[in-house]
Amino acid sequence: MQETTDAQTPGPSARAEAAPLELREVTKVYPGQERPAVDHLSLEVPAGEICVLVGPSGCGKTTAMRMVNRLIEITSGDILIAGKSVNDFKPAELRREIGYAIQQIGLFPHWTIAQNISTVPRLLGWPKERVNERVNELLDLISLPREVAKRYPAQLSGGQRQRVGVARALAADPPLLLMDEPFGAIDPINRERLQNEFLRLQAEIRKTIVFVTHDIDEAIKVGDRIAVLKEGGHLAQYAPPAELLMAPADEFVEQFVGADRALKRLALQRVRDVDLVKVALIRPGEPVAEARAKCDDSDVDLAMLIDDEGRPQGWLSERAFTGERVRKELRSPAEPIIDLDDVLRDALGRLLAAESRYGPVVDARGRMAGVLSMDVISHSLQVPAEETRTGADLVADE
């Protein structure tokens, strides 16, 4: 099973450092076709950043990505990883140094999760103990319980398989990762969660990543830099997401990004970044006098009933304040619940869906942190571009 000369050496990709990637006038022309699939594409991805290739279908984004690990051969131009051309390596050797995750995931059904994850380390000849260690490390990283290692892909849910796919790509600790619509096959609800988890992961490991997607919203949320490709593999614009939204290079980019550019910027901010409205937090059985004092102190005339842990139970109605102690009389339930870590775009969506101006905001443990109001969101739309940050920045700050 071991393919390298010495099973004791951990292999060249034990480097934990990310590598910068450069595409230099990369072109791909298929024989018999007039127009190139990728046309003189040039861009640089600094080490540790996520570069998203985005565009309509047929724009060559997947082709470009697959040229990096030579699944598709370059017709002209060059691709350099940490300064070395990809053509200087043998294809199989090159690919073992690059992480690869695809939309359909492609787990091997006949191998356990542990065997799947450890594919490349085993190809590189890592010693057994190191392989096992690494598998456990990765399972922890993608927040899956360690007993999953013995199961088979068919026994996992779609979301779990997706995470295993990412773990498999990371297994040999490659300096560069290629991801082709890795969350494409997941339902929208779980996709959001996986994207958040992925960004948290990247904050820890800081790899250079080439990420292909057709979804501009995903690109904005995930990318440090976004390369918008036109049909025929032309680069329309290569810029950080905020710049893309504020200053699209041409009509194509403008149209592709969408008329709701301003709203899209809401994906770049989190609830914790904006000012939350302060409301009275009242426990059942509190003396009414104290409760009233709290209400006077708050920004708006609203009172939230909380339990002993500080978790919101519902908006209090006036009748709760009759008598000596506050009773549990609710005007309306505590909805929609918004997380401190949610992006403003999603929070806005939830407020609109619930037809509510205010939404209780909770922290990671479910305790009340404040109230989000629609006014605050619309105010944040006016913040200038330079002051907005990327999704990855936000996660890194935590």
| Residue choice 15, 110, 319, 357 for contact with other proteins (CB under 8 A) | 110
- Return the DSSP state at 292: H
| Residue choice 20, 29, 111, 217 for contact with other proteins (CB under 8 A) | 111
| Residue choice 7, 43, 71, 80 for contact with other proteins (CB under 8 A) | 71
Q: What is the dihedral of CA 247, 252, 254, 260, to 10 degrees?
A: -160
Indicate the SS3 state at residue 362: strand
| Residue choice 107, 177, 210, 334 for contact with other proteins (CB under 8 A) | 107
Stretch that binds other proteins, among 51-59, 100-108, 219-227, 257-265 (CB under 8 A): 100-108
Stretch that binds other proteins, among 22-30, 88-96, 209-217, 319-327 (CB under 8 A): 88-96
Stretch that binds other proteins, among 95-103, 133-141, 320-328, 378-386 (CB under 8 A): 95-103
Please list, in sequence order, all residues whose beta carbon lies within 8 angstroms of the beta carbon of residue 154, skipping any fewer than 6 positions away. Answer: 109
- Strands 76-81 and 21-28, by their bridges, are antiparallel
Q: Is 332 in the site for other proteins (CB under 8 A)?
A: no
Q: Is 255 in the site for other proteins (CB under 8 A)?
A: no
Q: Is 104 in the site for other proteins (CB under 8 A)?
A: yes
Q: Is 207 in the site for other proteins (CB under 8 A)?
A: no
Query: Residues 38-67 vs other proteins: string with x where CB under 8 A?
Result: ----------------------------x-
Residue 342 has which token pair?
């949610």
Query: Residues 112-151 vs other proteins: string with x where CB under 8 A?
Result: -------xx--x---------------------------x
DSSP H helices in the chain: 61-68, 91-96, 113-117, 119-124, 128-141, 158-170, 188-205, 216-222, 241-246, 251-257, 261-264, 288-297, 344-353, 374-380, 391-397
Q: Is 14 in the site for other proteins (CB under 8 A)?
A: no
CA distance 339 to 362: 5
Residue 39 near residue 27 (C-beta atoms within 8 A): yes
| Residue choice 168, 191, 207, 221 for contact with other proteins (CB under 8 A) | 168
Residue 128 has which token pair?
């057994």
Q: Is 92 in the site for other proteins (CB under 8 A)?
A: yes
CA distance 138 to 338: 30
Q: Which is nearer to other proteins, 3 or 133 (CB)?
A: 3
> What is the Cα 5 distance to its own chain's centre?
38
Residues that bind other proteins (CB under 8 A): 3, 66, 69, 71, 92-97, 100, 102, 104-111, 119-120, 123, 151-155, 168, 178
